[in-house]
Structure 1
Amino acid sequence: MEMEAPRSSEARWSRVASSLPVRNVQDLAACSEGLTEEKLKRYIRLDIQDDDDVVAEQSGEVPMIDLGKLFNPDFAEYESARLRSACEDWGFFQLVNHGVPDDIIASIRGDIEKFFQLPLEVKSTYAQLPGDLQGYGQSFVVSERQTLDWSDMFVIIAQPSQARDMRYWPVQPHTFRKSIEDYSSELMKTAHSIVTAIAKTLNIDLELMVDKYVCQYLRMNYYPPCMTMAKKVLGFSPHSDGSFLTFLLEVNSVQGLQIKRHNAWIPVKPNPNALLVNVGDFLEIMSNGKYKSIEHRVTINTNQERLTLSAFHVPSLDGVVSPVPGIAEERPRYKTVGVEEYSKLYMSNKLDGKRALDHAKSL
């Protein structure tokens, strides 16, 4: 490979936990002999058999926020109020006019599709190494007995640049590295703008947030179709994000994401012109629960694959996160947490709703 693994402190992000190796799901889904219940027994979920808790789409849609209006004096007050409401009530919003150029979006989308079309033996050259969360494989597999998610993923640390491990950066397709670099750099600018706007909505000094989103890791998600048992498996188990903010790019606009709202699962319609942004656990802690890190999951399509790119913006691993005094009138709902300690707790367990965040709550 081109270079040895980086030794910067932020490179430790890739080693906060590890995941057990399991069979490639894309390869399993392509099996010509058919997917029987016996072959899928590690993926079948007993908790989603009925879908009675999924509400109709017309019951509400994720709010849309215009980044340009947030910084336009003629619209800033109104749009900031909408951003505040979205973070408080939904924990998610569709961000339009986000500033990432269309050609960069098109390039990263195309290269992700091409990467997952490569033969398994090519993709496997970027497989996760023992003790490392980066690479091609899965995450959150901590037991030989747990129910598995119907998905494959490819994870790399993109920011800061000194934390990159180029062993995991694909050379196929040949434009992929440039696409990742361009998208990552532009998204950092967008993240700065959104964090600036969020600081204003919370009426806190932006300096309190400058180290809360400096690390960025990218997770490319591949959800194969499951023609026979799509209703019995999940692409991603219910969870909240162990990030400060997460930006999701829908690569091919196949629906599957659902968010939990008023104890029901609401499908999220992909918007090809938007980035879907959600509040992470660290922002919920910092806002003392005012802004909500919402539980979400991914369902599987019967005959269409789904591809997405998640960009998790997280604090410096050496830092701490605590509720900012004065955001809420009541006492702090959360303890001060070390970023590394919380991240190890989050990443070393199977996904289970907001269980990790419960550990950060004050007694």
Structure 2
Amino acid sequence: MEVEARSGGSGASEGRWSQSGTSLPVRNVQALAGSAAELTADTIQRYIQPDVEGDTVLAEHSDEVPVIDLGKLLDAESVEAEAAKLRFACEDWGFFQVVNHGIPIEVIADMKHDIQKFFQLPLEVKNAYAQRVGDLQGYGQAFVLSDDQKLDWSDMFGLFSQPPQARDMSYWPNQPPNFRNSIEEYSSELMKLTHSLATFIAKTIDVDPELMEDKHVGQFLRMNYYPPCTTTPEKVLGFSPHSDGSFLTILLEVNAVQGLQIRRHGAWIPVKPRADALLVNVGDFLELFC
């Protein structure tokens, strides 16, 4: 499981986990994965990605994703060296892990806990927050545009979380009991972090920070659940290859399962989760500045 916070507009770094718009309703993957009777060869066929096995994956490079220390960016003695690392990460990788990010441990722990509890709720409870026609928010699967396209092996729950006036509270769950408060606190902390990162990135790439001042005020929170696939795990993807049409995407991985891969120099590199870090993706919109 994971939660993504996408900030900013539309506009390339690539990850397997964008386009915006509505989505056609599809069956629940979590329920499908848990039913041996329903998981037939015909059923799984729509989830099989034909080209996935031919991709080059450099598993030995999983420790190479740049790590940026926000504390060092705030320290006059270390800011120059750390800013150089940040510039390299943005321009050469399009991804970096940020440590000492300032979000309280308890805020992250509450968010992780409530995301897991939400996806453990009965399907009929989660479906009370299902996506509605013409809306990308809610529980379901995003970006399903036709009845014959290949599907991701995942379920998602999405919310417009910032600014507050953009929220549709009918999508905000009452279960688990503290979930709304967890989302509010985590979302607010992410806004602070995004502002800090945008300021440092602007200075690093020699762009006036004021030009970025209003580029990251919108925030879409996407929570993803990837159930195990017991039939053809090597042929399905939790999130098809894509680039994020955003300013920044900040990713929190709920557990230590290694699944995310990012594309660099024509190959896929697995990302080893760090308990003390958040993963940052330079979106298409920000890449226009780099």
Name the counterpart of 2:49. 45
**Residues of 2 paired with 1:48 and 1:58: CA distance?**
19
Q: Trace 1:19-34 onto structure 2 (pairs within 5 A).
A: 19-33=23-37
Q: Does 1:268 align with 2:271?
A: yes
Which of 218, 221, 228 is matched with 1:225 structurally?
228
Which of 35, 43, 60 is matched with 1:57 structurally?
60
Q: 1:50 to 1:203 in 2, by over 3 A?
A: closer
- The residue type equivalent to 1:21 in the other structure is P
User: 1:61, CA displacement in angstroms?
Assistant: 1.5
Which of 237, 244, 247 is matched with 1:244 structurally?
247
Name the counterpart of 1:302. none
**Residues of 2 paired with 1:49 and 1:190: CA distance?**
37
SS of the residue aligned with 1:40?
helix
Contact 2:73 2:82 in 1 (8 A): yes
- The residue type equivalent to 2:37 in the other structure is E
- The residue type equivalent to 2:185 in the other structure is D
**Residues of 2 paired with 1:56 and 1:187: CA distance?**
30
Name the counterpart of 1:136. 139
**Residues of 1 paired with 2:46 and 2:288: CA distance?**
34
* TM-score (ref. length: structure 1): 0.73
Runs of 4+ with deviation above 4 angstroms: none
SS of the residue aligned with 2:263?
strand
Structure 1 residues 218-247: Cα deviation after superposition (integer angstroms, max 9, x where no partner): 000000100221001111110110110000
User: 1:252, CA displacement in angstroms?
Assistant: 1.3
**Residues of 2 paired with 1:118 and 1:31: CA distance?**
16
Name the counterpart of 2:105. 102
- The residue type equivalent to 1:22 in the other structure is V
Contact 2:62 2:272 in 1 (8 A): no
Greater radius of gyration (CA) = 1
Q: Does 1:185 align with 2:188?
A: yes
SS of the residue aligned with 2:51?
helix
Q: Does 1:212 align with 2:215?
A: yes
- The residue type equivalent to 2:32 in the other structure is L
Unaligned runs of 5+ in 2: 1-7, 9-19
Name the counterpart of 1:171. 174
Name the counterpart of 2:86. 83
**Residues of 2 paired with 1:142 and 1:190: CA distance?**
33
**Residues of 1 paired with 2:147 and 2:238: CA distance?**
18
Once superposed, what is the RMSD of the aligned Cα atoms?
1.3
User: 1:34, CA displacement in angstroms?
Assistant: 6.1
Q: Does 1:17 align with 2:21?
A: yes
**Residues of 1 paired with 2:91 and 2:179: CA distance?**
37
- The residue type equivalent to 2:275 in the other structure is P
Contact 2:63 2:271 in 1 (8 A): no
Structure 1 residues 316-361: Cα deviation after superposition (integer angstroms, max 9, x where no partner): xxxxxxxxxxxxxxxxxxxxxxxxxxxxxxxxxxxxxxxxxxxxxx
User: 1:145, CA displacement in angstroms?
Assistant: 1.0
**Residues of 1 paired with 2:62 and 2:111: CA distance?**
33
Q: Trace 1:113-128 onto structure 2 (pairs within 5 A).
A: 113-128=116-131
Identity %: 66
SS of the residue aligned with 2:250?
strand
Contact 2:63 2:272 in 1 (8 A): no
**Residues of 1 paired with 2:62 and 2:99: CA distance?**
22
**Residues of 2 paired with 1:219 and 1:211: CA distance?**
21
